[in-house]
Amino acid sequence: MKDKIKFIIGRVKAGRLQEMWRQTVWIYHYARRYWLAMIFYTLLGMFGTVVSLLTSMVSRNLVDIITGHEAGRVVQTFCMMIGLSVGATLVGMVSDYAAGWISMKVDAEIKADIFEKILVTDWESLTNYHTGDLLTRWSSDASNISAGVLSFVPNFIIYFFRFVSAFAMIIYYDASFAIFAFLGMPVSLILSRTLMNRMVNNDKRSAAMGARMSGFNQEAFSNVQIIKAFDLVRLYIARLRQLQSEYISMRLDFKKMAIGTSLLLTTVGLLVSYASYGWGIYRVWSGAITYGTMTMFLTLSGTLTGTLHNLTTLVPTAIGLTTSAGRLMDIVEMPREDYSHDDEVERFWEAHRAEGMSLCIRDVKYAYQNGTLVFEHASMEAHPHEVIGLVGPSGEGKTTMMRLMLSLIAPQEGEVLLCGGDAGDKYGHRSCEAGDVLALTASVRKLFSYVPQGNTLFSGTIAENMRNVKQEATEEEMIEALKLACAWEFVEKLPQGLYSPVKERGGGFSEGQAQRLAIARALLRKSPLLLLDEATSALDVATERRVLRNIMQDRYPRTCIVTTHRPTVLSACSRVYGIRDGRCVVLSEEEIGELVRGF
């Protein structure tokens, strides 16, 4: 006993209760928006309890009437019995509907809010989580909370009211039956304490296994081509079987615990019922109560035992819900991106729409969270009507530089700025005046178009993909962008043209075609800055040159930055930066020529 007390005190000191309270408050941040519906649900539950107790009383009277051969009251009492039963059924149906409505609304509210918060969470922090884990938290944990949100205050009030009212009726008619009604309660309390500890462990194991299963499935389905190409089908089937075996083993453990608990509770319930039944027979035999009163007591005894069990199971249920809340709070409490400068960005854009914008990176230092240094004192500039090349060995920071430009990550030192105005000299030398500068934040992304490595098309149609970035785009505007990206030459030959279907991850098109569609989508947005991260790697040299030439000759004041492993692109660039020892160095024409010859 002392050890148990020490354990409880230790948990309190460790802040478990405070944490559970904080998680509970977080849950009701969503649930309180439906407080009127929850009050209605609570009142329905209490009303249903009253109807149930009245039914017990009428049933008692009906039994006494029948055993007493009072024929004159049978029909009237029987009709009351039917009416109360119908009323209880209707109340139960309305209560179930109200519970379902509240659960669905809370579920939608939580999922929509979590979805939004995940999308605006700091990108680098978010990459610490596997997408399968994020999906499990967003889906399963949110559903767990919404399904059980009524298990807190409303159900506690309903169960407590049911317990007190049933107990009061027993005391009123025959206090001796209260002893038998309470016989099973110590067992229920002991079991609830044991179940509470196991529930915490089970919830953690279930959440971890759910994340593993979701992550495995998501990666497998996303990489079916790789699995087939490397003949990994048998390997992945074996891995799935292993995960399923672990899952089944875990669920069987839970099932064994549930069966054992149910068996013990059933046994205790039967003992209590038969003890109550025996005592009732004795009381009827001695003339202390009627047979109808005895049947009512047996019903109320079962109500008390069942309600007490419901009350005690609220504790492990609460632990499960707060565990789910904690997993979601881990996500939503991560650092958020800064979208507070939208108005400032709009004003800056209106002021420089005609002339375009320059991108200025000054003395930037950046290291990953694991401490790996990528840039130190890195500087570069890009101006309207320029195509700037960025080259360097694989893994030296080209994509990281793109992420800095997009404000997906932030430098530890230095600054990344937008400057209004025309291009500088051939080496990019230009000074941004103090009043002509905009620091990069998440709000500035609306001024960028971006084509990353790999296939970035969504399922739908070509037109739907393009209108994702400009919803009001006309067919003429889409065709113009497709022509600039050298994509219209194959799109116009498709049976459905702009409305040809695109499968998941660009299925139905070659890698080169998918890249050109992605470039066209970026051009359609008419952003003043265009970032192409290895975006022409699947194109042949001639098509690649045509795409870059079209971008340069377009009269729209666009600043374009291209990362590439293919030096053949560099001759089409206004200026080329090479990443060397964490810096960005402007390459001379001789150095560019040497790269081209060595390719």
191 pLDDT above the threshold of 60: no
Share of the chain above pLDDT 90, in %: 7
**Distance separating alpha carbons of residues 188 and 325, to the nearest angstrom:** 27
Q: Tens digits of per-residue pLDDT, 511-568?
A: 888 889 999 998 998 889 999 888 877 788 888 888 888 887 778 888 989 887 777 6
Residues paired with residue 342 on neighbouring β-strands, in sequence order: none
Q: For residue 522, with 0-12 CB atoms within 10 Å meaning exposed, 13-18 middle and 19 or more buried, which class applies?
A: buried
pLDDT at position 5 is: 45
218, 306: one domain = yes
Q: Which of 102-116, 337-351, 463-477 has the lowest mean pLDDT?
A: 102-116
355, 328: one domain = no
**Distance separating alpha carbons of residues 470 and 466, to the nearest angstrom:** 7
290, 360: one domain = no
353, 374: one domain = yes
Give the CATH number of the domain where residue 359 resides. Answer: 3.40.50.300
Q: For residue 293, with 0-12 CB atoms within 10 Å meaning exposed, 13-18 middle and 19 or more buried, which class applies?
A: buried
Please compute Rg for the chain using Cα positions. 35
375, 300: one domain = no
Q: Is residue 548 part of a domain?
A: yes
240, 103: one domain = yes
Average pLDDT over residues 51-68: 78
Amino acid type, 182? F
What band does 599 get if pLDDT is binned at 50, 70 and 90?
A: low
**Distance separating alpha carbons of residues 32 and 505, to the nearest angstrom:** 40
Coil, strand or helix: which one is 360? Answer: strand
Q: For residue 212, with 0-12 CB atoms within 10 Å meaning exposed, 13-18 middle and 19 or more buried, which class applies?
A: middle
Residues paired with residue 389 on neighbouring β-strands, in sequence order: 562, 576
Q: Is residue 552 part of a domain?
A: yes
**Taking Cα atoms as reference points, which of 418, 426, 413 lies closest to residue 582?**
413
Q: Is residue 471 part of a domain?
A: no
Question: To the nearest whole number, what is the mean pLDDT of the chain?
Answer: 79
Which of residues 313, 332, 351 is at a domain's end?
Answer: 332
Q: Is residue 399 part of a domain?
A: yes
Mention every residue, 6+ apart, whose C-beta is less than 8 A from residue 41.
Answer: 95, 98, 99, 102, 150, 154
Higher pLDDT, 463 or 331: 463
Q: Is residue 4 part of a domain?
A: no
413, 535: one domain = yes
φ, ψ at 334 (rounded to 5°): -70, 165
State the number of CA atoms in the 13 A half-sphere of 308 facing the CB. 23
What band does 254 get if pLDDT is binned at 50, 70 and 90?
A: confident
Q: Is residue 457 part of a domain?
A: no
- Give the single-character DSSP code of 450: E
pLDDT at position 428 is: 45
pLDDT at position 479 is: 92
399 is in which domain, residue-wise?
342-452+529-597
What band does 8 get if pLDDT is binned at 50, 70 and 90?
A: very low
356, 436: one domain = yes
Which of residues 284, 311, 332 is at a domain's end?
Answer: 332
266, 385: one domain = no
pLDDT at position 71 is: 53
Max avg pLDDT among 106-120, 263-277, 424-438: 106-120
168, 311: one domain = yes
Q: Tens digits of per-residue pLDDT, 107-145?
A: 888 888 888 888 888 887 888 887 777 887 888 888 878
pTM of the model: 0.70
pLDDT at position 19 is: 77
**Distance separating alpha carbons of residues 417 and 441, to the nearest angstrom:** 10
Long-range pairs, 122-126, Cβ under 8 A, ≥24 = 122/334, 122/335, 122/336, 122/337, 123/337, 123/403, 123/408, 123/409, 124/369, 124/408, 124/409, 125/334, 125/335, 126/334
Average pLDDT over residues 286-294: 77
| Sheet containing strand 413-420, strands side by side | 373-382, 357-367, 413-420, 437-439
What band does 482 get if pLDDT is binned at 50, 70 and 90?
A: very high
400, 534: one domain = yes
What band does 67 get if pLDDT is binned at 50, 70 and 90?
A: confident
186, 306: one domain = yes
Q: Tens digits of per-residue pLDDT, 194-211?
A: 555 565 566 667 767 777
**Taking Cα atoms as reference points, which of 393, 381, 357 lies closest to residue 574?**
381
pLDDT at position 70 is: 57
Distances (CA, A) of 253 to 75, 198, 257: 53, 11, 6
Residue that has been written with the tokens 């009277």 in this structure:
61
**Distance separating alpha carbons of residues 427 and 425, to the nearest angstrom:** 5
Give a three-class secondary structure readout of 191-260: HHHHHHHHHHHHHHHHHHHHHHHHHHHHHHHHCHHHHHHCCCHHHHHHHHHHHHHHHHHHHHHHHHHHHH
13 pLDDT above the threshold of 60: no
Average pLDDT over residues 48-61: 82
Which of residues 271, 301, 332 is at a domain's end?
Answer: 332
Q: Is residue 414 part of a domain?
A: yes
- How many distinct structural domains can be found in the chain? 2
**Distance separating alpha carbons of residues 466 and 259, to the nearest angstrom:** 56
405 pLDDT above the threshold of 80: yes
Separate counts of helices (H) and strands (E) for the chain: 21, 12
pLDDT at position 434 is: 44
What band does 316 get if pLDDT is binned at 50, 70 and 90?
A: low
Q: Is residue 9 part of a domain?
A: no
Amino acid type, 189? L
